[in-house]
Amino acid sequence: MIEYDPFSDSVMRNPWPHYAQLRREDPVFYLEKYDTWFLSKFEDIRASTTNDVFTAERGVTPEMVMLKAPPPPDPVFSMLDLPRQRDYRRMFVPRYTKNAVAGMEETIRAKTRALLRPLAERGRFDVYSDLADPLAVSVIADLIGIPNDEALAMRERIARYFAREPGQLGTRPENEVERIAIVTRIAELVTARMQAGDSGGDDHISVMLRTPAEGQPLSLGSMVATVYTWLVTGVEVVPLSVANTILYLGRSPDQRRTVVLDPSLIPFAYDESLRFDQPTNLLGRFVKEPVVIRGRKLESGQGVMFLWASGNRDEEEFERADQFDIARRPARSLSFGHGAHKCIGEHLGRLEGRILLEEILALAPEYAVDESGVRRTYSEFLHGHHAVPIEFRARTL
Ligand code: HEM
């Protein structure tokens, strides 16, 4: 008997036994109460991301797919299908290529060191809230083109928007209030920029103000929803995955020593933490045309969720999949998705992750995780750790 429900207390606390059971017993699992299918095998998820019988246009978040919350009414590239998606996404691509992102290394390192300096003297800090989170907020604020203090205030609201109590099914009014406050403030900021005219900048708001999509200028609603998407995707996953990496290395002293002795292994350790505990746990689509997967027929109009984190623990793809092993060099991964919606922030996420880990390990190679303060994120969507306090010998930088 399968008890899987992404909103259940048991799955939010520890999804891994549920995912193992799904892969073993019912890899194309249907839950009638959400009229939604759950794909848990690596190969099924990967193939489905490029199968155009599925649509992103009715929403992709657990709330939209399972609870049928409406997607934003105006176009956002993360919730459009090809070819429309390409028309909106392409205006941002030049800032996110491997080369363009490499040009941000110096700035991101300087920001990281400025945040670390006061923390180094304390001999103790929280990897998520004291360092990785403010860094990610500052980086995405610059890219979007909004002041850092505005982004920090919005980031606190995002945390309250995603906060969940046991038994909670999706967002409650007290969560929704936070989202409305964020989009209201974004609308004010974008409107002020529209009135001021094009400043010639290459931040996302400037680019949206001057670039048409589908032959028309972007509507205010589309720009606001897009800024909101950048903010949420830009602030959440890097801090969770960096905190995860420090936690798992802290629990595996031999692997941590290996990385400290050879920092060129840091990107592999980060990638392994993304595989082992993927922060964007699940995202979905709707079925546009009936399709059969492993003998199960998915009907049009039904939801389908891609359990990325389960695919990344699939034994058919990864040997000893439940072990955190930085020596892995996997040929494929689902950490950044696949297909047209593959993460546009992949290179940036990897760069931020590498710099944060390099700087933490250089400052505190012998850190000890204070396990009593470690907190796992309690959410149907984002997984990982949002509190990982470490202790080390205090230093002046
Ligand atoms: C390093 C950690 C990251 C992970 C694990 C991650 C994971 C993912 C995944 C799995 C998707 C696919 C979504 C789907 O198919 O529906 C995605 C898409 C996306 N990611 Fe990331 N991401 C990361 C970092 C970032 C960063 C730093 C940004 C922003 C600066 C970002 C922005 C986006 C956006 C905008 C999309 C939507 C792309 C589209 O639909 O065309 N991500 N990400």
346 in any annotated domain: yes
CATH of the domain at 116: 1.10.630.10
- Cα dist. 359→48, 108, 109, 267 in Å? 38, 11, 8, 13
What mean pLDDT do residues 67-95 have? Answer: 97
Cβ–ligand 1 distance for 54 under 6 Å, the answer: no
**124 φ, ψ to 5°?**
-165, 135
4 in any annotated domain: no
Percent of the chain having pLDDT more than 90? 96
pLDDT at 77 over 90: yes
Q: How confident is the model at residue 140 (pLDDT cuts 50, 70, 90)?
A: very high
Strand partners, 55: 286
- What's the half-sphere exposure (Cβ side, CA atoms, 13 Å) at 31? 19
338 in any annotated domain: yes
Q: What is the pLDDT of residue 63?
A: 94
Q: Which atom, in ligand 1's list, is nearest to the CA of 353? A: 1
Contact 246, 269 (CB under 8 A): no
234 in any annotated domain: yes
3 in any annotated domain: no
pLDDT (tens digit per residue) in 157-207: 999 998 898 888 889 999 999 999 999 999 999 999 999 988 889 999 999
Cβ–ligand 1 distance for 61 under 6 Å, the answer: no
52 in any annotated domain: yes
Q: What is the pLDDT of residue 167?
A: 87
**275 φ, ψ to 5°?**
-70, -45
pLDDT at 397 over 90: no
Cβ–ligand 1 distance for 244 under 6 Å, the answer: no
Contact 357, 364 (CB under 8 A): no
Q: Report CA(82)–ligand 1 centroid distance (Å).
A: 17
Give start and end residues of each alpha helix (H) in 34-172.
Answer: 42-49, 62-67, 84-89, 93-96, 98-102, 105-122, 133-144, 148-162
Q: Share the mean pLDDT of the chain.
A: 97
Q: What is the pLDDT of residue 366?
A: 96
162 in any annotated domain: yes
- The total number of structural domains in the chain stands at 1
1 in any annotated domain: no
pLDDT at 297 over 90: yes
Cβ–ligand 1 distance for 349 under 6 Å, the answer: yes
The domain in which residue 78 lies consists of 9-391
Q: What is the pLDDT of residue 330?
A: 97
